[in-house]
Amino acid sequence: MNHILLKNGRILDEKTGEMAPADVRIENGVIAAVGRELPESGAETVDVAGRLIVPGLIDMHVHLREPGFEHKETIATGTAAAARGGFTTVACMPNTRPVADSPEVIGRIRETAHREGRVRVLPIAAITKRELGEELTDFAALKEAGAIALSDDGVGVQSARMMKQAMAWACELDLPIVAHCEDNSLAKGGCVHDGIFAAKLDLPGILGSAEAVHVARDIVLAEDTGVHYHVCHISAKASVDLVRMAKQKGLRVTAEVTPHHLLLSDEDIPGPDPMYKMNPPLRSAEDRAALLEALKDGTIDIIATDHAPHTAEEKAMGIRQAPFGIVGLETAFPLLYTRLVLTGHLTLAQLVEKLTRRPAELFGLPWGRLAEGQTADITVIDLDEERTIDPDNFVSKGKNTPFAGWRAKGWPVLTLVKGRVAWRESVDLVRNGQ
C-alpha cells in the first residue's frame, strides 16, 4: 500500500489562478482527493508547511545523451536532474549515437529509463536515418516501439520535399513533427547570433532568418498535409510572427521557447564565453521581447529547457569550437519564477500552465493536472526559498550554464512520480502511525 497525504499545502485554482490552502491525498499512485483537512488515516503524512503543490512539470525537449554520449549525461543522471528540478516527465531527443532512428534504439532507451530513470522518459525518434536528411525512418515501426513524436533535432531537414513526405506520413500516424528549424545555407559556420556581440568580437554569426526561413517553409507544408507541426526552441521575432499567422489561420502549429531565450539576449554575453553558446543562439533584445510577448499571448504554447549537457573539457574549447548547448533542468523553474513571475511579466498560474497542463494537451499526454483520479505526478515548490545557482551542486553531469552565481527563488523540494518519491529536499516524510 502506497498512501501519502501532502498536508498544509497551497494549490493553484484552475479557474482563477489564485492560491488556496489544500491537502492532497495519494493512494496507490493516484490522486484520491484534493481539499481541506483530508483524513490522515493509513497514510504517510508530509507537512509541506504552506509550500505550493503543482502537477509534475513536463519538459518536451531534453538531451539525455544515452546511448553513445554517456560522458556528457546518462539516463540515470539526466532523470535525477529532472526530478530535482521538479520535472516528472521528459521527452528525449534522438541525436544520440546510434541515432534513435530504429525500434531497437527506442526500445533500448525505454528499457534503460524503466530500469534506471527517476522520472518518466518519452523518446522522440528521428525523422531521417542517422539524421542525415536523406531517407525517412520507419515511422510506423518507431511509433509501435514507443516513440511519441518525430524530430531531427540538432539539425534542420534541408529538403522541402523530404519534409513534406515526412509530414504526410506523420499525419497519417498522428505523430507530431517537432522541428529544429535551421537553413544551413544561412547558418553554417556561425557560433553566435549575427548581431551586436558577433560584430563586437568579429565572430561568425547565425542569422535569425536561418530559423525563420524553415519555419515559413514548414508552415506551408503543414497546411498542405494537416500534420501537427511543432517548432523547437523558437528564438527569432520573424519566426514568432509566422507562428502567430499560422495560428490565426487555424493550422495545427505550436511552438516552444527555452528559459535562456526568455531571459537573455546577445547583449548579455559578457565575452567569448562558451557557456553562452547554444543553438539557436541568444538573439537580440528585440527578439527576446517578442518571445516573451508571444508566450504571454499564447502564440508560444510551452516552455522547454533544451537541456544539453557537455563536459567541462568540451566547453573549454573556446566559443568558436565548443559544442552548442547548456543545461537547464535543475534551474528552469526558479529562474523563470524569479525573473518573470516576481517581476510581473507572467502570473504564477501562467508559468505553471506552460510547464504542465499545456504540454500535456499539445502532445496528448494523460498528465499535467492536479485533480482527483489523475496520476500522482506532483511537485512541491518552496516559493520563498532563495539560493545561489552553483553548477558544482548539479546532479546532472553537465555543469554548462550561463546562470552560475544568479540568485533565484522558487525551488522544488519534493517530486513524486506515480506517487513515489523521485526527489526530496528539506521535507521529511512522517509516518502518521495510524
- Per DSSP, the three-state class of 206 is strand
In 246-289, at which residue ranges do the beta strands (DSSP E only) sit? 253-257
| Mean pLDDT confidence for 422-427 | 84
Is pLDDT at 428 greater than 70 in this prediction? no
- Residues making up the annotated binding site for substrate are 63-65, 95, 279, 310, 324-325
Q: Name the amino acid, one letter, at 280.
A: P
261-310 confidence digits (pLDDT tens): 999 999 999 999 999 999 999 999 999 999 999 999 999 999 999 999 99
Q: DSSP letter at 133?
A: S
Among 145, 21, 162, 55, which residue's Cα sits nearest to residue 94? 145
Cell of 301: 504554447
| Per-residue pLDDT at 427 | 56
Q: Which is it for the CA torsion 238, 243, 244, 245, positive or negative?
A: positive
Percent of the chain past pLDDT 90, that is, above it, reads: 95
Packing angle, helices 160-173 and 208-225, rounded to 10: 50
Marked catalytic residue, from 101, 152, 306, 377: 306
| Per-residue pLDDT at 150 | 98
| Mean pLDDT confidence for 66-75 | 98
| Per-residue pLDDT at 2 | 82
Judge contact between 283 and 266, C-beta under 8 A: yes
336-386 confidence digits (pLDDT tens): 999 999 999 999 999 999 999 999 999 999 999 999 999 999 999 999 999
| Per-residue pLDDT at 318 | 94
Task: Report how far residue 151's alpha carbon sits from residue 6's, in angstroms, rounded to the nearest whole number.
Answer: 38
| Mean pLDDT confidence for 62-72 | 98
Stated as kind and residue range, the H or E segment containing 295 is: helix 285-297
Neighbours of 149 (CB within 10 A): 24
Is pLDDT at 431 greater than 50 in this prediction? no
Neighbours of 164 (CB within 10 A): 19
Q: Name the amino acid, one letter, at 150.
A: L
- Residues making up the annotated binding site for Zn(2+) are 61, 63, 153, 180, 233, 306
Percent of the chain past pLDDT 70, that is, above it, reads: 98
Cell of 208: 535569425
Is pLDDT at 21 greater than 60 in this prediction? yes
Judge contact between 151 and 232, C-beta under 8 A: yes
| Side-chain half-sphere exposure of 285, counting CA atoms within 13 A | 5
Judge contact between 7 and 49, C-beta under 8 A: no
Task: Report how far residue 347's alpha carbon sits from residue 122's, in angstroms, rounded to the nearest whole number.
Answer: 29
Cell of 275: 557557456
Is pLDDT at 433 greater than 50 in this prediction? no
Is pLDDT at 118 greater than 70 in this prediction? yes
pTM: 0.97
| Mean pLDDT confidence for 192-202 | 96
Is pLDDT at 80 greater than 70 in this prediction? yes
Round the average pLDDT of the chain to a whole number and report it: 96
Residue found by looking up cell 510547464 in the block: 355
In 113-268, at which residue ranges do the beta strands (DSSP E only) sit? 120-123, 177-179, 192-193, 205-206, 229-231, 253-257
| Mean pLDDT confidence for 387-412 | 98
Cβ contacts of 220 within 8 Å, gap of 6 or more? none
| Side-chain half-sphere exposure of 167, counting CA atoms within 13 A | 25
Cβ contacts of 163 within 8 Å, gap of 6 or more? 127, 157, 177, 217, 218, 221
Q: Is 15 exposed, middle or buried (0-12, 13-18, 19+ CB in 10 A)?
A: exposed
- Per DSSP, the three-state class of 171 is helix
| Mean pLDDT confidence for 179-208 | 96
Cell of 37: 483537512
DSSP result, 60-120? EEE---TTT-TTT--HHHHHHHHHHTTEEEEEE-S-SSS-S-SHHHHHHHHHHHHHH-SSE
Packing angle, helices 285-297 and 237-248, rounded to 10: 20
Cell of 369: 493536472
| Mean pLDDT confidence for 78-106 | 98
Cell of 270: 559578457
- Per DSSP, the three-state class of 434 is coil
- Residues making up the annotated binding site are 61, 63-65, 95, 153, 180, 233, 279, 306, 310, 324-325
b or e along 191-204 (b: 16 or more beta carbons within 10 Å of the residue's beta carbon)? bbbbbebbeeeebe
Stated as kind and residue range, the H or E segment containing 244 is: helix 237-248
DSSP bridge pairs for 120: 89
DSSP bridge pairs for 239: none
Is pLDDT at 429 greater than 70 in this prediction? no
Task: Report how far residue 92's alpha carbon sits from residue 146's, in angstroms, rounded to the nearest whole number.
Answer: 12
- Please indicate whether residue 306 is annotated as part of the active site: yes
**pLDDT class of 17 with cuts at 50, 70, 90:** confident
